[in-house]
Amino acid sequence: MSSTGIRIGILGASGYTGAELVRLLGDHPQAEIRALTAERQAGKPLGEVFPQLAIYDLPTLVKIDELDVGGLDVIFCCLPHATTQAIIKSLPRGPKIIDLSADFRLRDPALYEATYGHAHQALELQEQAVYGLSEHYRDAIRKAWLVANPGCYTTTAELPLIPLLKERLIQPEGIIIDAKSGVSGAGRDAKQGSLFTEVTEGIHAYGVATHRHTPEIEQCLADFAGRPMRVTFTPHLMPMSRGILGTIYVRLAAGISPEDLHRCLAGAYADEPFVHVLPFKSLPATRHVRGSNLCLIGVHPSRIPGEAILVSVLDNLVKGASGQAIQNMNIVLGLDERLGLSQRPLFP
Amino acid sequence: MSSTGIRIGILGASGYTGAELVRLLGDHPQAEIRALTAERQAGKPLGEVFPQLAIYDLPTLVKIDELDVGGLDVIFCCLPHATTQAIIKSLPRGPKIIDLSADFRLRDPALYEATYGHAHQALELQEQAVYGLSEHYRDAIRKAWLVANPGCYTTTAELPLIPLLKERLIQPEGIIIDAKSGVSGAGRDAKQGSLFTEVTEGIHAYGVATHRHTPEIEQCLADFAGRPMRVTFTPHLMPMSRGILGTIYVRLAAGISPEDLHRCLAGAYADEPFVHVLPFKSLPATRHVRGSNLCLIGVHPSRIPGEAILVSVLDNLVKGASGQAIQNMNIVLGLDERLGLSQRPLFP
Amino acid sequence: MSSTGIRIGILGASGYTGAELVRLLGDHPQAEIRALTAERQAGKPLGEVFPQLAIYDLPTLVKIDELDVGGLDVIFCCLPHATTQAIIKSLPRGPKIIDLSADFRLRDPALYEATYGHAHQALELQEQAVYGLSEHYRDAIRKAWLVANPGCYTTTAELPLIPLLKERLIQPEGIIIDAKSGVSGAGRDAKQGSLFTEVTEGIHAYGVATHRHTPEIEQCLADFAGRPMRVTFTPHLMPMSRGILGTIYVRLAAGISPEDLHRCLAGAYADEPFVHVLPFKSLPATRHVRGSNLCLIGVHPSRIPGEAILVSVLDNLVKGASGQAIQNMNIVLGLDERLGLSQRPLFP
Amino acid sequence: MSSTGIRIGILGASGYTGAELVRLLGDHPQAEIRALTAERQAGKPLGEVFPQLAIYDLPTLVKIDELDVGGLDVIFCCLPHATTQAIIKSLPRGPKIIDLSADFRLRDPALYEATYGHAHQALELQEQAVYGLSEHYRDAIRKAWLVANPGCYTTTAELPLIPLLKERLIQPEGIIIDAKSGVSGAGRDAKQGSLFTEVTEGIHAYGVATHRHTPEIEQCLADFAGRPMRVTFTPHLMPMSRGILGTIYVRLAAGISPEDLHRCLAGAYADEPFVHVLPFKSLPATRHVRGSNLCLIGVHPSRIPGEAILVSVLDNLVKGASGQAIQNMNIVLGLDERLGLSQRPLFP
């Protein structure tokens, strides 16, 4: 084991985001996966749970109780919402923690309670947590020990909107985010609604006006708009495994053109390795980011004067979850942000 | 052959809408398919072009030139846009014509020319054509000899919006139609963009702000709003064969609630056999109308006061094309509108 | 209610085969669905469990205990394997019963026990049950009150093989059935292995050499071969909802050619409404029978002299389950076998 | 440009295998893509043809005529079958050539002519070409300048069969290869049969007894069996983009058990980085090798004594094409065979 290796533990490794971390970290030159936990599957090799990983040399699954936290530099937490906060609270301090659940994303305890239906169990940690939208909270992430990795829908919505709100190029009212997601966002638990037969060859909207990512989007956008935000967010389920596409309808600020939006976004992300703005009027497709940590953004004029349409795409399991988590680990540890994240998209 | 049989010809039977007419007419107690045309495939049995129809007793494909128009009561025209007008013009008058192309949908010659890039070749027929959105133009269709069957996207958008605009329950400005369609809408011609490998497991927007169905939607909505309309319409391609879902964002008129919209729509369609309004806040899925002539509509409040979200679904090849065409034939001939259209949805 | 109506009950209406019966019976001119049972969903309208059926006028779901068996002419039993036998045993005699489970398919109690791991609970009924492969057990079905509807894989394998074994055109040894099925065969219960994410864009074999349909195939083939049979049967899971394709490798009897096989099959099924033999060397596709009660069969020479390849396809929920069940009901009641089963295939 | 860089040209970069080479070579530490050709698309950046590659720094597409062959160390040839031979013949000698077409795979000119319907145009080169099944022709590949990269179906069939034939553990007669492939094997040309609507939710066999990969399989197996071979090979098209699964039925040699087959295969591939034999009776799934250069093999007993079933899977675009091509380049150049090929499978 190299002396420069980063000793990593993954809590909740039997879900899709856990397996995706294992896939991506296989390309990270310094990552050493030292521990994998899964309560019900403890004792099994990961390859029994995820056959695609059977040939790799990986630690056997253990329970969180059996974890040697002191021997780890970084912990990725892929546990279910609501149970995560108590577990992180109970862990000895030391390792940096990248939490992929929603538990530490909302800063306002009242908003958390309203959204999740119960009081937060670790408010003192929530105060220390930093929101992990890498490109826009980088300085804070650098100093953090607990990073609240953003949701997949929220990343898709926030990346195109933040620079425009920050520069006051769009109106803060009337933003509509019509979002479409692949099924892997629903996780690996057996649910009737996620069966192949129930999903293939069809689409539907769900969680309309009530989806829990909405307050997260609003909190983040408010940080940059400098005022409270209220958006329309409509998620739809797509018959595909991976990928999110956000079609975002915005109203231009006075005197601003769609070209101005494009210029602003292209400038804001010019030096970012993972966020790319397409030529004006070009629009991205989810299949062109599959398996990669990329977010692609397009800007298009509307037929309605004074309005514009933004389209952003990413792979919900990579930039929308495990990829951004590794990006955040790299930031926290002062490494090159791109390490482990150079996979080119898989197409077709 | 029964003396009460309706003698039917289908022009352009080698495409998906032609084959869908043949499928549906198999259940129509009075339909007798007497002629099928396909220029390049003339001389072949239809079962060679569409193996799923090989076991049925159907006429051999012929060229349009070889057609005995006088022996037909009804002609369904499934020919490509732009070439249809000249062909219909050249046919002897007599049979009722249900045209599934876009050629006779736009009443304003200038708008047609702006939309399709060339002058209309049969303006005198366009004046006689009746727009075939069955539920809302029924009286005119009854007296028509040439019905311009609506587009699939347009039917999806118009059915939920018309009653609301007619009753002035929503504002005519700011309507956003975010639409998602299966691939069969692109037809059966070999195109790289429609290959399985290019479509599966991914989504994208296309034709943003420029799609040719937009003027058609606006013309129809204007008929009921009593004023010119301008809408935002954004189509997306889905990795599925059939189905369209429209997510429609509307602004309420003063003093109107989302419940009012629901009440209006439920009332407007209470006696319609094919359009059904779900309970308030329930939302439909495309897979629940597959293969049927149904359109399902849901009404949901928005998080933004003064706004609401409508969701409508239909099968683009049935209510969005061939099914509505048969419905229009039934109206034109004074038959029970449901004949040949009682298929229950195929799920899973 | 018409005096000629057939009063029908469906036990286990919350699964896919139950819903498929409801879909198909909607086209049956004499069927009157009088009762629908579902233990856990009792009290709900069927449309809550299957939204695609919400607009139809159907009885509310009840528990089996609440069933008025005396008021029914026919009962379709769509209950899980192993629990079915006790329930049918407990019902008052009277209605004809079409059982879609595997409970009454195997005539030999020892074989049943070896296959299903427990002794049969209703051996006296098993003796009275008739195997429901409609085309080949028609005379017996006509007189039966309890029909054991065949499995989907077994129907796919038996239809092409029976005439050939009966006429001694192929050798009884060395038959290999490489079968491929859509996911709906696994039912609607939430299982990780049936999730969209686990199934889409991939294939695998399962139940190799152990699948429970194997003894059923062998029992049926033995009936016509006049000797015990032992076959190789390998099922595979396909990323699609509906459809089964069997690729069947056979060895020709001495002096027999592949053309002879084709001639035999074409002759055997010449008058059958649902089984069609394609021209020699033509091969069928599952998508061309979707939603219909058809079974299509192709015969092809092998590169190896003395061998041939048969390919058969059907829709596992129709001819492989609910469609054949209705066909059997029609036979039992002396009706035209085609009633309720004239739907043309849905393609694309 | 590093002095140790390998200067690479890709002929026919506008197809799927070309794009896949570009994807994989992005992870190869020494690869420098210097030239990309595409006759009809010449002058465009590759990102215009394949948007998923738009953000990478790659040479503009040129015509083959414009190629500076002298400046290249390796040429990957992804051109259509039949046209490749003349083009390779016309190139100046110098660079190593890895040909992904079928042009140089068959050593017997008469067999080539019988299979492809025309005489070979470069017989003198065919004599020098080495068949590129990396694991079994490694020594010859090391010395080759022209490598005939195997077909995707053939690799799937050959890897499990070669060790067994070599060790005489199975009978050379009666081998049946029932193979199932994703659609990307059909390439990116617009063909009606590859449309999403024609492929999704359905399966069919094709090229039965006539597929051109059959003689290639037989030639290769004969090399190891030490006698002419004749096999049954039946390809099927699956509704998925990537992946091939071969279900292979074999007859055991006298005194040999299925366990012996497993032991032989496990031993033969124990030190291979890309070919893995699962535990006895375990069976692989295509989705567990997606995007990787892996081939997984399972061995299962049959219900028929004296027979066994092998299942092998790989990604047709990687180990079945571009991945094996890079593996062969690494062998030819004396590099670590794994360079550029360490991507873990993408699942889900």
What would the mean pLDDT of C117-141 be, rounded to a whole number? Answer: 96
Q: Given this model, what pLDDT does residue A283 score? A: 97
What is the per-residue pLDDT across C191-200, written as a single tens digit (0 to 9) for each? 999 999 999 9
End-to-end Cα spacing for chain D:
37
User: Touching check for D228 and chain C: CB below 8 Å?
Assistant: no
Q: What number of residues does chain D have?
A: 348
SS3 A33: strand
CA dihedral B1→B3→B4→B5, nearest 10 degrees, is 30
What is the per-residue pLDDT across C286-338, written as a single tens digit (0 to 9) for each? 999 999 999 999 999 999 999 999 999 999 999 999 999 999 999 999 999 99
User: Touching check for C345 and chain B: CB below 8 Å?
Assistant: yes
**CATH superfamily entry for domain D152-315:** Dihydrodipicolinate Reductase; domain 2 (3.30.360.10)
CB contact under 8 A, B287 and A240: no
CB contact under 8 A, D309 and C200: no
Nearest CA among B217, B221, B176 for reference residue B311: B176
Q: What angle do CA C7, C9, C12 make, to 5 degrees?
A: 165
- Phi/psi at C36 (nearest 5 deg)? -130, 130
Q: Given this model, what pLDDT does residue D1 score? A: 39
Select the residue from D184, D203, D214 to test the C interface by mutation, using most C Cβ atoms within 10 A.
D203
Q: Given this model, what pLDDT does residue D2 score? A: 45
- Gap from C185 CA to chain A (nearest CA, Å): 10
CB contact under 8 A, A247 and B205: yes
- Gap from C97 CA to chain B (nearest CA, Å): 25
Q: Contact, A261 vs A308, CB < 8 A?
A: yes
Pairing of strands D244-251, D176-181: antiparallel
Question: Which segments in chain B show pLDDT lower than 50?
Answer: 1-2
Name A233's bridge partners.
Answer: A177
Q: Given this model, what pLDDT does residue C4 score? A: 77
Instruction: Identify the band that residue C1 occupies on the pLDDT scale cut at 50, 70 and 90.
Output: very low
Pairs of residues, one from chain B and one from chain D, whose beta carbons lie less than 8 Å apart: 62
| Residue A2: pLDDT over 50 | no
Give me the CATH code for the A6-128 domain, please. 3.40.50.720
What is the per-residue pLDDT across D164-209, written as a single tens digit (0 to 9) for each? 999 999 999 999 999 999 999 999 999 999 999 999 999 999 999 8
Q: Which chain C residues are Cβ-neighbours of A188 within 8 angstroms? A: 192, 195, 197-198
Nearest CA among C205, C212, C182, C178 for reference residue C194: C182
Dist. CA B186–CA B180, nearest whole Å: 13
D301: nearest CA partner in chain C: C209
Dist. CA A142–CA A332, nearest whole Å: 5
| Residue C2: pLDDT over 60 | no
CB contact under 8 A, D203 and C245: yes
What is the per-residue pLDDT across A256-312, written as a single tens digit (0 to 9) for each? 999 999 999 999 999 999 999 999 999 999 999 999 999 999 999 999 999 999 999
Nearest CA among B172, B178, B184, B149 for reference residue B311: B178
CB contact under 8 A, C202 and D288: yes
Residues 6 or more apart from C305 whose CB is under 8 A from it?
none
Instruction: Identify the band that residue A4 occupies on the pLDDT scale cut at 50, 70 and 90.
Output: confident
Q: Contact, B285 vs B205, CB < 8 A?
A: no
C282: nearest CA partner in chain B: B51
Dist. CA A346–CA A241, nearest whole Å: 13
- Gap from A348 CA to chain D (nearest CA, Å): 7
Q: Given this model, what pLDDT does residue A3 score? A: 53
What is the per-residue pLDDT across A28-81, written as a single tens digit (0 to 9) for each? 999 999 999 999 999 999 999 999 999 999 999 999 999 999 999 999 999 999
C188: nearest CA partner in chain A: A192
Q: Given this model, what pLDDT does residue B3 score? A: 53
**CATH superfamily entry for domain B6-150+320-332:** NAD(P)-binding Rossmann-like Domain (3.40.50.720)
A282: nearest CA partner in chain B: B206
Q: Contact, D236 vs D178, CB < 8 A?
A: yes
- Gap from C81 CA to chain A (nearest CA, Å): 20
Q: Which two three-digit tokens encode residue A160?
A: 């195109």
Q: Which two three-digit tokens encode residue B85?
A: 């007008």
Select the residue from B111, B201, B262 to test the A interface by mutation, using most A Cβ atoms within 10 A.
B201
User: Touching check for C282 and chain D: CB below 8 Å?
Assistant: no
What fold is seen in the domain A152-316? Dihydrodipicolinate Reductase; domain 2 (3.30.360)
Q: Rounded to whole angstroms, what are the CA distances from A241 to A118, A177, A275, C130, C198?
A: 31, 21, 22, 44, 9
What is the per-residue pLDDT across D251-295, written as a single tens digit (0 to 9) for each? 999 999 999 999 999 999 999 999 999 999 999 999 999 999 999
Q: In this complex, which of B184, B344, B348 lies closest to C241 when CB atoms are compared?
A: B348
Q: Contact, A178 vs A169, CB < 8 A?
A: no
User: Touching check for B294 and chain C: CB below 8 Å?
Assistant: yes
**Residue C40, by phi and psi: left (phi above 0), alpha (psi -120 to 50) or beta?**
alpha
Which amino acid is present at C17? T
Question: Which segments in chain D show pLDDT lower than 50?
Answer: 1-2
User: Touching check for D184 and chain A: CB below 8 Å?
Assistant: yes
Q: So where are chain A's domains?
A: 6-128, 152-316
Dist. CA B96–CA B101, nearest whole Å: 15
Dist. CA D233–CA D175, nearest whole Å: 9
Return the higher-pLDDT residue of A340 and B2: A340
ipTM for the predicted complex comes to: 0.96
CB contact under 8 A, D214 and C178: no
What would the mean pLDDT of C169-175 be, rounded to a whole number? Answer: 98
Exactly one of A152, A220, A264, A295 is catalytic; which is it? A152
Select the residue from C17, C48, C196 to test the A interface by mutation, using most A Cβ atoms within 10 A.
C196
- Gap from D302 CA to chain B (nearest CA, Å): 33
User: Touching check for D239 and chain B: CB below 8 Å?
Assistant: yes
| Residue C214: pLDDT over 90 | yes
Dist. CA C163–CA D180, nearest whole Å: 28
Give the orientation angle of helix D152-166 with respect to helix D258-268, to 10 degrees: 110
Q: Given this model, what pLDDT does residue A245 score? A: 98
Q: Contact, D242 vs D317, CB < 8 A?
A: yes
CB contact under 8 A, B191 and D190: yes
Q: Contact, A208 vs B283, CB < 8 A?
A: yes
User: Touching check for A239 and chain C: CB below 8 Å?
Assistant: yes
Task: Please give the positions of C annotated as active site.
Answer: 152
Helices (H), C194-257: 196-199, 213-225
Task: Please give the positions of D annotated as active site.
Answer: 152
D26: nearest CA partner in chain A: A344
Percent of chain D with pLDDT over 70: 99
- The tally of CA atoms less than 13 A away on the side-chain side of residue B317 is 27
Residues 6 or more apart from D44 whose CB is under 8 A from it?
D38, D60, D61
| Residue A9: pLDDT over 60 | yes
